Amino acid sequence: MEHSSRGPVPHGHVTLVQVAQRAGVSAQSVSNALNNPDRVAPETRKRILAAVEELGYEPNLSARALRNRSSSLIAFKMRPARPDKASMLMDDFLYVLNASAVEAGYHLILCHAEGGQAGEIKAYRDLLKKTSIDAFILAETHRNDDRVAALRSWGVPFAAFGRSWDGDDEMAWVDVDGRAGTRAATAHVAAQGHTRIGHIGWPDDSELGQDRREGWLDACRARNLDTDLQAAVVDSLENGRQAAHHLLDAARPATALVCASDTLALGVMRALHERGLRPGVDVAITGYDDSPTAALVSPGLTTLRQPIDEVGRQLIQAVDNLMAGDPRPPHHVLLEPELIVRDSSLPGRRDTR
């Protein structure tokens, strides 16, 4: 047999690394052969799949089986509900995260915490004392994130939805490229002929907000457009409304407003409603998040959709790899959001009746 001279046939549960040794390739190649087949030469892929079959390797079961425990729980802290905000549905994200977890042999357990990062860390510790938790998924990462230090000190595997803003390469994370998204939204309104494009975003202490503002600056600079029309406000409909009135009252007012969130963009729509102006026809508006509201308002709101299915899958894959003792560097995945164009950014009102 071609492979019999390679690594030994292991007993018991088979790991990715054992498959790699057997096939005489790197662990990365095995992962690619299974997850991104087009990155591996057909011959190599064939050899890897033979090793997978020979050893009876089951990618989704490996981490779980290795641990040989019954709980298989991944903990996730829900954030409090945010009334009057058009956020991406945490709902949707939880659903896909849980679906991915179940497919990989885990279940999500919800964690409850109040009182900021300190409260969250306390809740994690309490949960670990009480229940056997296999891994944590964090959301909304920040610079100097104390949760990361705490989980590390306890030796618990974790992955974050949100990059390590301080360049911590050791943390596994999955994130969405807000800068590229806002750049695409700005380019889209510029393509409709707008030259006075304003931005309504968040204060500078928000890493996410800074990232999204950079995309607007990129697109304006690439077109030699002024960048004097900007506002940095805490995320709320009312703040978006007031910022819009301000930018529309300028001596050379904005004709398009690119926003860091759907909530801010809906505030802009309210301001236009109050001024008797028509979204799209009179002032172009874009949001960010593709909240359910974006599709439901009239006219519909142009916005950026985060690929949360893929985010969920990648996060579970990341913690599964960590639990399996995968020797590869931690998962760092930056995904592109998708621009969803609706009538709020288009000059011609389309009557769909």
Binding segment toward a copy of itself, per CB under 8 A, in 43-51, 174-182, 209-217, 261-269: 261-269
> In this structure, is the dihedral angle defined by the CA atoms of residues 150, 156, 157 and 161, taken in order, positive or negative?
negative
Picking from 73, 69, 90, 68, the residue whose alpha carbon sits closest to that of residue 127 is: 73
| Segment interacting with a copy of itself (CB under 8 A) among 80-88, 143-151, 186-194, 208-216 | 80-88
Q: Please tell me whether the peptide bond between 299 and the residue prior to it is cis, using omega within 30 degrees of 0.
A: yes
Residues 6+ apart with CB under 8 A from 314: 174, 331, 333, 335
250 binds a copy of itself (CB under 8 A): no
One character per residue 124-143, x = contact with a copy of itself (rule: CB under 8 A): ---x--xx------------
- Among residues 18, 32, 210, 263, the one that binds a copy of itself under rule CB under 8 A: 263
Nearest CA among 71, 56, 142, 145 for reference residue 101: 71
295 binds a copy of itself (CB under 8 A): yes
Q: How far is the CB of 170 from a copy of itself (least distance, A)?
A: 28
Is residue 256 within 8 A of residue 283, CB to CB? The reply is yes
Q: Please identify, among the stretches 54-62, 91-99, 146-154, 198-206, the one whose residues bind a copy of itself according to the rule CB under 8 A.
A: 91-99
Of residues 19-48, those binding a copy of itself (CB under 8 A): none
Among 9, 50, 65, 94, interactor with a copy of itself by CB under 8 A: 94
* Distance of closest approach, residue 245 Cβ to a copy of itself, in angstroms: 7
Q: Using the rule CB under 8 A, is 149 a contact of a copy of itself?
A: no
Tell whether residue 310 is a contact of a copy of itself (CB under 8 A). Answer: no
Cα 107 from Cα 200, distance rounded (Å): 39
Measured from the CB atom, the residue of 43 and 351 that comes closer to a copy of itself is 351
Q: Is residue 80 within the footprint of a copy of itself (CB under 8 A)?
A: yes
Residue 4 binds a copy of itself (CB under 8 A): no
The residue from 18, 72, 186, 261 that contacts a copy of itself (CB under 8 A) is 72
Q: Is residue 352 involved in binding a copy of itself (CB under 8 A)?
A: yes
**Cα dihedral: 130, 131, 136, 142 (round 10):** -10
Q: How far is the CB of 199 from a copy of itself (least distance, A)?
A: 20
Among 51, 237, 283, 339, binds a copy of itself (CB under 8 A): 237
Do 113 and 123 touch, CB atoms closer than 8 A? yes
79 residue type, one letter: R
* Shortest spacing between CB 320 and a copy of itself, in angstroms: 16
Question: Which one, of 72, 98, 94, lies nearest residue 81 by Cα?
Answer: 94
Residue 225 structure tokens: 């457009």
Which helix (H) or strand (E) segment is 98 a member of? helix 90-103
Q: Tell me which residue of 27, 95, 61 sits closest to 311, measured CA to CA.
A: 95
Identity of the amino acid at 110:
L
Among 50, 89, 139, 341, which residue interacts with a copy of itself (rule: CB under 8 A)? 89
Task: DSSP for 188-253, please give it.
Answer: HHHHTT---EEEEE--TT-HHHHHHHHHHHHHHHHTT-----EEE--S-HHHHHHHHHHHHSSSS-
Query: Which lies closer to a copy of itself via its Cβ, residue 182 or residue 293?
Result: 293
CA 41 vs CA 155, 203, 236, 299: distances in Å: 37, 47, 50, 48
Q: Should residue 71 be labelled a site residue for a copy of itself when binding is judged by CB under 8 A?
A: yes
The pair of three-digit structure tokens given for residue 217, joined into one six-digit string: 């600056």
Give the shortest CB-326-to-a copy of itself separation in angstroms.
24
Judged by beta carbon, residue 10 or residue 105, the one nearer a copy of itself is 105
Cβ at position 219, least distance to a copy of itself in Å: 26
Which stretches of the chain bind a copy of itself, using CB under 8 A? 70-73, 78-87, 89-92, 94-96, 98-99, 101-102, 107-112, 127, 130-131, 237, 245, 263, 266, 269-274, 291-293, 295-299, 351-353
